[in-house]
Amino acid sequence: MEEISSNFIHDFIDSEIEAGLNKGVHTRFPPEPNGYLHIGSAKAIWINYTTAKKYGGLFNLRYDDTNPSKEDTEYVDSIYEDLLWLGAEPNGGVYYGSDYFDKCYEYAVKLIKDGKAYVCDLSADEMREYRGTLTEPGKDSPYRNRSVEENLDLFERMKNGEFSDGAKTLRAKIDMSSPNMNMRDPAIYRILHASHHRQGDKWCIYPLYDFAHPIQDAIERITYSLCSLEFENHRVLYDWVINNIGFEKKPVQREFARLNVSYTVMSKRYLRKLVETGLVDGWDDPRMPTICGLRRKGYTPESIFEFIRRTGVSKANSLVATEQLEACLRDELNVTAERRIAILKPLKVTVTNYPEGRKEYFEMTNNPSDPESGTRKVTFSREIYVDRDDFMEDPVPKFFRLKPGGEVRLMSAYIVRCDEIIKDEDGNVTELRCTADLDTGNGSPADGRKVKGTIHWLSADDAEKCTVKLYDKLFTIENTADIPEGKTYDDYLNPESVITLSDCMVEKCAAEAGAGERFQFVRTGYFCKDSKYDKTFNRIVTLRDGSGLKH
């Protein structure tokens, strides 16, 4: 088994095992199916999955489907697909929180009978008012001292649908003066007349997360409930539920810092808005931080998990540069991606001294980092394409590409000299006429002259039209948590987050590749064949890291 580095969570588990408090490790990933998973979710998956793997334990997928108004089977299916794609197979099983609703109800009745829960008629606003502040204790609800019999009757009538949404809640009876606001008689059940994606109309009351989650963990015999740092102050409530229901096998909650990535939003509510308003091309838009968006863009599971591994596991919140994620993929693709030629801004070149109808083939290396990838033969003919950016009619100093009267090496082929420029009636350059030194196909000029520039090219006989999409950051602000007052995410959407180039040219062998295949387009970047649109390539990442927004 691969070595998994230790972190403070593993140190804690080691201490528990050494003290005889636990013999095995059983973790879980509990997503709410109200949206698609994103790069932040991948960190929670990685931590829980690799922790179980390190100790030879079990890892569960459990859907936290306790809020029917926002959940959908579309999200359920996508979560499972993403988990398997990442390689984090839930060897402990797949579960649904909603399948425990009967047990949650049973345990809520137990708390009522034990005098530890009561039905409250306060509205949400009134509950907030009674709750107090960080410096002032809360006030007891006027319904806090209802009898056990009255609470049991009201709770059953809540279950039977006699009351409207929000009319009543079931609250844990703990301590309204607790310095931890989460312990001030938190609501544990609410009324919600909504059809559930799995349970249908069986229920009109639903347990809240802080009550349902520890119960689910305990039923599944989870040993370590590993969650993000915002649940740290909820831990005491988690333990209260476990202890007062009376579970013998008690899971332990520990928290880690969330993954915050620059130029990225992790709010599923806002990501859903982008999808629903058509500002992006669905949840799998390659600009989205979703797992399916990263997959469609061309990221690999290995690069995503490597990124999370490099960022580490800590309890200190931080902002990780998106360039670090790009670097992980760039490191991988430099070794694994085969090279292909693509001309993003084609400019026709006629090699005037090359015979019409003649073809020959030059060998090009598929991947210099992988000798076993071999070579391929690339067609050369009288008509070729070069990139328009590789030509300047009025060249700047030290411009070593095509220019009037200048010579350049066509990569792995001949040296050519630009003799004539053809323009349309508007003065736009439409074609170059060049002469090839036909003695330089396999080496340097016989007279020893030096040619400094080398450019990529593509024969008209070996070129297929395609569309290329150059993706960049979705937002222009580095830390989306620092948006000034009065501004919203919308104010920082990058208007150039995608640039679409039509009528590009690519090698036929790349054009015929399957969806999801990744290539390095030489001198251009790493690209992936799109899974949604035919003859379209998505830029995954540029060849080199840089700063700022770039194309």
As a whole number of angstroms, the distance between CA 168 and CA 490 comes to: 37
As a whole number of angstroms, the distance between CA 467 and CA 437 comes to: 33
Answer yes or no: 32 catalytic. yes
Q: Is 45 exposed, middle or buried (0-12, 13-18, 19+ CB in 10 A)?
A: buried
At 208, list the tokens: 């809240």
55 Cβ partners below 8 Å, 6+ apart?
13, 24, 25
At 406, list the tokens: 């200048």
Answer yes or no: 268 catalytic. yes
Amino acid at 536: T
The residue annotated as part of the active site, out of 32, 332, 431, 517, is 32
Amino acid at 145: N
279 Cβ partners below 8 Å, 6+ apart?
273, 493
As a whole number of angstroms, the distance between CA 62 and CA 220 comes to: 10
Answer yes or no: 544 catalytic. no
The residue annotated as part of the active site, out of 54, 70, 221, 258, is 258
The residue annotated as part of the active site, out of 53, 168, 268, 518, is 268
**Chain centroid to CA 483:** 22
User: How many other CB atoms sit within 10 Å of the CB of residue 257?
Assistant: 17
Three-state SS across 223-292? CEEEEEHHHHHHHHHHHHHHHHHCCCCCCEEEEECCCEECCCCCCHHHHHHHHHCCCCCCCCCCCCCEHH
The residues that are catalytic are 32, 258, 268
